[in-house]
C-alpha cells in the first residue's frame, strides 16, 4: 500500500515512463526467454537426428562383427564413425551387455564404466552426465540385427525365390555418446547477439517513449500552471494550443472558460 501511495504521488510524466518501461522490459524478457529455450531445444533435436543417422549406419555395418564377436572388425568401423564432430564415445555390446569394442574421445571417460543400455528393437536415447564431460550429453542406442533363413521340409530342395522363412533377430546394440557442449556454445553466441539486439531495441524504444510522453504531458503541465494562476486571480492567460486532439480540445475549452470569467468580471 505504501508503494502504491508513493506511486500515486509521482508526476504524470514519471508514471507514464515507469509503466511503459516496465511493460517493455517485461515483454522483452519473456519473449527472449521463450525464443532462447526454443533455440536450444531445436539445436538439441538437430544433434539427436545427426546422431541417429550415424548410429543406424554403424549398427547395420556391425552385423558381421557382432555375430562373430570380432573386435578388430568392430574397431575399424568405430574408427570411421568416430571422426564425426560431437561424438564423445562409441561402444558395441552383445545381448549380454558385454562391450565387444569401444572408443572414447574424452580423456577419463570409459564407456565400459557407464550404465548398460537396454537393448530394444528401436532407437533409444537418454540424457546423461559423467565426469570428464562438460555439462550433459545424450547416449543413443540402436539394435544390431541379423537375418537368417529357416528352411522347412516342405520347401527343402525347391527352386524359386520362396525357399523358406527369413527371421530377423537382435544380436547386440551400438551405443553412441554425443555431446551438446559445442551446440550450447553456438547457441550461447546467438543468444548474446539476440540479447544485444533486444537491449538496443529497448533503449531506442524507451528514448522514443520519453519524447512521446514529453509531447503529451507538456500541454497538460501548461494547463495545470494556468489553472493555478487563474485561481490566484490572473485572467490574462491564454493557452492557445494548435492541436486537434483531445488535449487541444481541452485547451480550447479552457480558453473559453477564461474569456467567460473575464466577461463576468467586467
Q: Which residue has the higher pLDDT, 5 or 56?
A: 56
Instruction: Report the b/e string of 110-146 with b at 16+ CB within 10 A.
Output: ebeebeebebeeeebbeeeebeebeeebbbbbbbbbe
17-28 pLDDT per residue, tens: 778 778 877 877
**pLDDT over threshold 80, residue 103:** yes
**pLDDT over threshold 60, residue 163:** no
In the prediction, which pLDDT does 144 show? Answer: 92
CA terminus-to-terminus distance, the chain: 49
Residue 57 confidence class, pLDDT cut points 50, 70, 90: very high
The 3-state DSSP class for residue 47 equals helix
Distance of CA 103 to the CA centre of its chain: 32
**CB-based contact 43:240 (threshold 8 Å):** no
**Ramachandran quadrant class, 92 (left: phi over 0; alpha: psi -120 to 50; beta: rest):** beta
In the prediction, which pLDDT does 60 show? Answer: 92
Report angle CA 82, 115, 80 to the nearest 5 degrees. Answer: 10
In the prediction, which pLDDT does 112 show? Answer: 81
208-235 pLDDT per residue, tens: 877 777 777 777 777 777 777 777 777 7
Within 13 Å and on the Cβ side, how many CA atoms surround 70?
A: 12
Amino acid at each position: 500500500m505504501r508503494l502504491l501511495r508513493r506511486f500515486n504521488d509521482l508526476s504524470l510524466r514519471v508514471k507514464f515512463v515507469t509503466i511503459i518501461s516496465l511493460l517493455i522490459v517485461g515483454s522483452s524478457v519473456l519473449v527472449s526467454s521463450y525464443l532462447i529455450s526454443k533455440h536450444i531445444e531445436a539445436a538439441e533435436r538437430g544433434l539427436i537426428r545427426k546422431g541417429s543417422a550415424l548410429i543406424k549406419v554403424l549398427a547395420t555395418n556391425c552385423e558381421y562383427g557382432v555375430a562373430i564377436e570380432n573386435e578388430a572388425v568392430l574397431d575399424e568401423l568405430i574408427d570411421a564413425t568416430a571422426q564425426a564432430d560431437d561424438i564423445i564415445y562409441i561402444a558395441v555390446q552383445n545381448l549380454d551387455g558385454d562391450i565387444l569394442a569401444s572408443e572414447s574421445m574424452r580423456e577419463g571417460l570409459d564407456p565400459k564404466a557407464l550404465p548398460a543400455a537396454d537393448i530394444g528393437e528401436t532407437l533409444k536415447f537418454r540424457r546423461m552426465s559423467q565426469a570428464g564431460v562438460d555439462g550433459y550429453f545424450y547416449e543413443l542406442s540402436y539394435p544390431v540385427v541379423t537375418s537368417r533363413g529357416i528352411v522347412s521340409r516342405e520347401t527343402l530342395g525347391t527352386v524359386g525365390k520362396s525357399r523358406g522363412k527369413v527371421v530377423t533377430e537382435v544380436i547386440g546394440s551400438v551405443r553412441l555418446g554425443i555431446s551438446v557442449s559445442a551446440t550450447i556454445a553456438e547457441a550461447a553466441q546467438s543468444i548474446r547477439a539476440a540479447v544485444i539486439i533486444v537491449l538496443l531495441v529497448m533503449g531506442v524504444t524507451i528514448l522514443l517513449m520519453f519524447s512521446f510522453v514529453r509531447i503529451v504531458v507538456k500541454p497538460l503541465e501548461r494547463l495545470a500552471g494556468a489553472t493555478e494562476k487563474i485561481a490566484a486571480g490572473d485572467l490574462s492567460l491564454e493557452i492557445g494550443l494548435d492541436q486537434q486532439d483531445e488535449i487541444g480540445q481541452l485547451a480550447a475549452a479552457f480558453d473559453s472558460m477564461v474569456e467567460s470569467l473575464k466577461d463576468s468580471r467586467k
